[in-house]
A and B are shown apart, each in its own frame.
Chain A
Amino acid sequence: MAALISEIVYRGIFQKNLASRIARGIVLSARKSGRWGIAFGRYGDSPQRNGIPAKDFAIVADTKEELEQNMARYEPKHVDVTVCVDDTLAKGVESWAWYGLQPINRLTVPNGTVLMTSLQSGGELLKDIHRKDAPYKLALIRAKASFSGLWVYKEDHTEVRILGALAKIAPAFLTLDGVCQAIAEMEWGSDLKVASARKAYERLETREVKITEGNPEVPYSFEMPKWWEMREGVTIPAIPIGKPKEEGKGYVPERNPYFKKFTTRTMRPVVNFDTCVKCTLCWIQCPDSCFDVMPDGTYDANMEACCGCGVCEAVCPVENCITMVNESVFEDNASQWEMWRKDKAAYQGWLTGKIGDKKATVRSHGFRFRGQYEQELEADLDIGGAEITAGIPGENAQHKTV
Chain B
Amino acid sequence: MAVATKPAPAAAQDRELLISGSEAVAEALTLADIDVVTAYPIRPYDTVMQAIAKKIANGQLVAEYIVAEGEHSQFEIVKHASTVGARVFCGSSGVGWAYAMECLVVTPPLRVPMIALVGNRALDDPGAFGVEHNDALFVRDLGWLLCWIDTSQEALDTTLIAYRVAEDRRVFLPLAISADGAFLTHSQALTMVPPKEKVERFLPRYDRGDLLLHPDNPITVAPQANEDWVIEIRRQNNEAMGRAVGVIEEAYADFRRIFGRGPENPWFEEYMTADAEIILVGMGTISLPIKVAIREMRAKGKKVGLVRLRWFRPFPWEGLVKALSKAQAIGVIDRDYSFGSPFGSGVVANEIRAALYNAERRPPLLSFICGLGGREVTLEDVNKATEMCYGAATAGKSDTKTHWLGVRE
Partner-binding segment picked from A23-31, A164-172, A192-200: A23-31
Inter-chain contacts of B188 with A (CB < 8 A): 23-24, 27, 38-40
Contacting residue for A72 out of B20, B286, B295, B407, CB 8 A: B286
Query: Which residue of B has the minimal Cβ distance to A20?
Result: B188
Closest to A75 in B: B376
Segment touching A, from B122-130, B163-171, B390-398? B122-130
Find the B residue at minimum CB distance from A39: B188
Q: Which residue on chain A has the smallest CB distance to residue B291?
A: A68
**Interface contact A72-B125, CB-CB below 8 Å:** no
Q: Who on chain A is nearest to B408 by CB?
A: A226
**A226 to B377, alpha carbons, bound, how many Å?**
18
Closest residue to A58 on the B side, CB-wise?
B188
Residues of A within 8 A of B182 (CB): 43, 74
Q: Tell me if B273 counts as interface (CB < 8 A to partner A).
A: no
Residues facing A in B351-409 (CB within 8 A) are 374, 376-377, 407-409
Interface string of A26-69 (1 = CB under 8 A from B): 01100100001111110110110000000000000000010011
CB contacts (< 8 Å) of A37 on chain B: these are 18, 189-190
Is B292 touching A43 in the complex (CB atoms < 8 A)? no
Chain A 72-84 per-residue mask, 1 if CB under 8 angstroms from chain B, else 0:
1110000000000
Would you call B187 and A38 a contact (CB within 8 A)? yes
- In the assembled complex, the Cα of A107 lies from the Cα of B125 at a distance in Å of 31
B376 touches A72 (CB 8 A): yes
Partner of B126, one of A24, A36, A71, A234: A234
Residues of B within 8 A of A234 (CB): 125-126
Q: Is B186 close to A, CB under 8 A? A: yes
How many whole Å from A396's CB to the nearest CB in chain B? Answer: 33
Cβ of A40 and Cβ of B186 under 8 Å apart? Answer: yes
B263-281: which have CB < 8 Å to A? none
Q: How far is the CA of A37 from the CA of B189 in the complex (A)?
A: 7
Q: Check B258 for interface membership: any CB of A closer than 8 A.
A: no
> Which chain A positions have C-beta within 8 A of B285?
71-72
Which residues of the other chain, A, contact B20 by a CB distance below 8 angstroms? Answer: 40
Least CB separation from B185: chain A residue: A43
B377–A36 contact, CB under 8 A?
no
Closest CB of chain A to B402's CB: distance in Å? 15
Cβ contact of A228, chosen from B126, B183, B291, B409, cutoff 8 A? B409
Q: Nearest Cβ distance between residue B334 and chain A, in whole angstroms?
A: 16
B288 adjacent to A68 (CB under 8 Å): yes
Asked whether, in the complex, the Cβ of B186 is within 8 Å of the Cβ of A46, the reply is yes
Find out whether the CB atom of A227 lies under 8 angstroms from the CB atom of B126: no
Is A239's beta carbon under 8 Å from chain B?
no
Residues in B with CB closer than 8 Å to A24 are 18, 188
- Which of A44, A71, A226 neighbours the largest number of chain B CB atoms within 10 Å of its CB? A71
Closest to B284 in A: A72
B43 interface residue (CB < 8 Å to A): yes
What chain B residues lie within 8 Å of A38 (beta carbons)? Answer: 187-189
Q: Is B262 an interface residue (CB 8 A)?
A: no
Chain B hits for A228, CB < 8 A:
409
* Chain B CB within 8 A of A224 CB: yes
CB-based nearest A residue for B289: A72
Q: What is the chain B residue whose CB lies nearest that of A73?
A: B376
> Which residues on A sit within 8 Å (CB–CB) of B126?
234
Question: Which residue of chain A lies nearest to B286 when distances are taken between CB atoms in the complex?
Answer: A72
Inter-chain contacts of B18 with A (CB < 8 A) = 24, 27-28, 31, 37, 39
A36 to B16, CA, bound (A): 12
Name A71's closest neighbour in chain B (CB-CB): B288
Q: Which residues of chain B come closer than 8 Å to A248, judged between CB atoms?
A: none
Q: In the complex, what residue of chain A is closest to B126 when comparing beta carbons?
A: A234
**Minimal beta-carbon separation of A127 from chain B (angstroms):** 35
B337-360 Cβ-contact flags toward A at 8 Å (1 or 0):
000000000000000000000000
> Given A43-B374, A71-B288, A72-B285, does the pair A224, B408 have CB atoms closer than 8 Å?
yes
Do B407 and A227 have beta carbons less than 8 Å apart? yes
- CA–CA, A20 and B407, complex, Å: 32
Q: Does A240 contact B (CB under 8 A)?
A: no
A237 at the interface (CB under 8 A from B): no
Q: Which B residues, 31 to 63, have Cβ-Cβ distances below 8 Å to chain A?
A: 43-44
Q: Are B129 and A43 in contact (CB under 8 A)?
A: yes
**What residues of A have a CB within 8 angstroms of the CB of B409 in the complex?**
226-228
Which B residues between 75 and 129 are near A, CB-CB below 8 angstroms?
125-126, 129
List, in ascending order, chain A residues with CB within 8 A of B288's CB.
68, 71-72
Q: Which of A9-27 contact B (CB under 8 A)?
A: 23-24, 27
- List, in ascending order, chain A residues with CB within 8 A of B286's CB: 72
Which chain A residues border B44 with CB–CB below 8 Å?
43
A69-116 contacts to B (CB < 8 Å): 69, 71-74
Q: In the complex, what's the smallest C-beta–C-beta distance from B304 to chain A, in angstroms?
A: 16
Q: Determine whether the beta carbon of B43 is less than 8 Å from that of A47.
A: yes
| Whole-angstrom distance between the Cβ of B321 and the nearest chain A Cβ | 28
Q: CA A47 – CA B47 in complex, angstroms? A: 11
In the bound assembly, the distance between CA atoms of A272 and B264 in angstroms comes to 73
Whole-angstrom CA separation of A227 from B405 in the bound complex = 12
Task: Name the CB-closest residue of A to B43.
Answer: A47
**Which residues of B from 1 to 39 have beta carbons under 8 Å from A?**
16, 18, 20
- List A contacts of B376 (CB < 8 A): 72-74
> Is the CB of A257 closer than 8 A to any CB of chain B?
no
Question: Given the complex, which residues of A lie within 8 Å of B186, measured CB to CB?
Answer: 40-41, 43, 46
Contact with B along A230-260 (1 / 0, CB 8 A): 0000100000000000000000000000000
- Asked if A353 lies at the interface with its beta carbon under 8 angstroms from chain B, I say no
The CA-CA distance from A375 to B26 in the complex, in Å, is 37
- Whole-angstrom distance between the Cβ of A217 and the nearest chain B Cβ: 28
CB distance from A5 to the nearest CB of B (A): 14
Are A68 and B408 in contact, with the CB atoms below 8 A? no
- With a cutoff of 8 Å between Cβ atoms, the chain B residues found around residue A47 in the complex are 43
Chain B nearest CB from A74 CB (Å) reads 6
Once the chains are docked, how many angstroms separate the CA of A234 from the CA of B123?
13
* Known interface pairs A28-B18, A227-B409; A40-B190 also in contact (CB < 8 Å): no
Whether B291 pairs with A36 at a CB distance below 8 angstroms is no
Minimum-distance CB pairs A-B, first 10: A43-B182, A40-B187, A72-B288, A72-B285, A72-B183, A39-B188, A234-B125, A71-B288, A226-B408, A234-B126
A sample of 6 cross-chain residue pairs with beta-carbon separation below 8 angstroms, ordered by A number, consists of A31-B18, A31-B190, A39-B18, A40-B186, A40-B188, A43-B181
- Told that A43-B181, A46-B186, A71-B288 touch, could you supply 16 new A-B pairs with CB distance under 8 A? A27-B188, A31-B18, A31-B190, A38-B189, A39-B187, A39-B188, A43-B44, A43-B182, A44-B129, A68-B288, A71-B285, A72-B183, A72-B286, A73-B183, A73-B376, A227-B408
